[in-house]
Amino acid sequence: MIVTLREVLSDAKATNQAVAGLVCLGWEDMRAYVKAAELEKQPVIIQAGPSCRKHTPLSVLGPMMRYLAEQASVPVVVHLDHGTDIEECRQAIEAGFSSVMYDGSRLSLQENIETTRSVVELAKQYGVSVEGEIGFVGYADGETSATTDPQEAAEFARETEVDAMAISAGNVHLQIDSDTELDERVINEIQKLTNTPLVIHGGSGVPAIQRAKLAATTNICKYNIGTELRVLFGAELRNVLAEDTQVFDRIKILGALESRLVEGARTVLRSLLNG
């Protein structure tokens, strides 16, 4: 069933758990991730990030993802990740996304607040949820992070009325190794000042034990996981091709790969439970 981000994060916050925001690149992985969620009987957020949108237009992604969500036996959020401007968020809403993230993290605080608030006002007209970002989450071997200021986070949450707020507390995008622990002091300071559900981008770099701990003890209700599953996809694709060096039909190749993706996604989903 298709649901909004507000719905699944409200439930996650009430039960001291977190929901996985799984970054998709195409039909095969988004289908595997929904199947994994059904097997685990957990909600899931399937996300179309910038790389996905470069490959496939929003007008195509929306119906694809909505179809999977509507057929699923568990709640599924269809989410735009890192929307670049109001127009892109509008296009995603019109394409059927139930949730959009507007990323104004490179803007000044006031510009970020004003633009994010405009996205929230737009999304409310369609019953769509909005995630915003305050602070800046950097990239492995790229831009460096700027840790979220708790006072600014409180102001941002209050002034924008976002349904979820992505923060920077040691997390980094596109990190292959899961050995970067989040700064729990920063997280605790933020949640002293706001009850808005918190989001961790770059969740692949956070050790599984800390994911579960913070889901159980803080307002972190969503972890974005992309790199971890992309690494798995690449490794298992190589394995499939090595196991049958004569195979050439992409349907057979991807069919053999799907069960391995499902199991990998199930592992990620379980890592967010509080035990």
pLDDT digits (tens, 9 = 90+) for 240-274: 999 999 999 999 999 899 999 999 999 999 988 75
Q: Are 1 and 26 in contact (CB under 8 A)?
A: no
User: Hey, which residues are catalytic here?
Assistant: 81
pTM of the model: 0.94
pLDDT the model gives residue 174: 65
Asked if residues 270 and 40 have their Cβ atoms less than 8 Å apart, the reply is: yes
Q: What is the CATH number of domain 2-270?
A: 3.20.20.70
CB 275 within 8 A of CB 247: no
Which tokens sit at 125?
A: 């007209």
DSSP for 74-91, written as a single string: S-EEEEEEEE-SHHHHHH
What is the distance, to the nearest Å, from the Cα of residue 75 to the centroid of all Cα atoms in its chain?
Answer: 15
The residues pairing with 173 across neighbouring beta strands, listed in sequence order, are 139
Output the average pLDDT for the chain.
93
Ranges of each domain in the chain: 2-270
What confidence category does residue 275 fall into, taking pLDDT thresholds of 50, 70 and 90?
very low
Residue 223: in which H helix or E strand, if any?
Answer: strand 220-225
pLDDT of the residue at 192: 94
* Each residue's pLDDT tens digit, 26-75: 999 999 999 999 999 999 999 999 999 999 999 999 999 999 999 999 99
How many percent of the chain have pLDDT more than 70?
98
In tens, the pLDDT along 203-236 reads 888 888 898 899 999 999 999 999 999 999 999 9
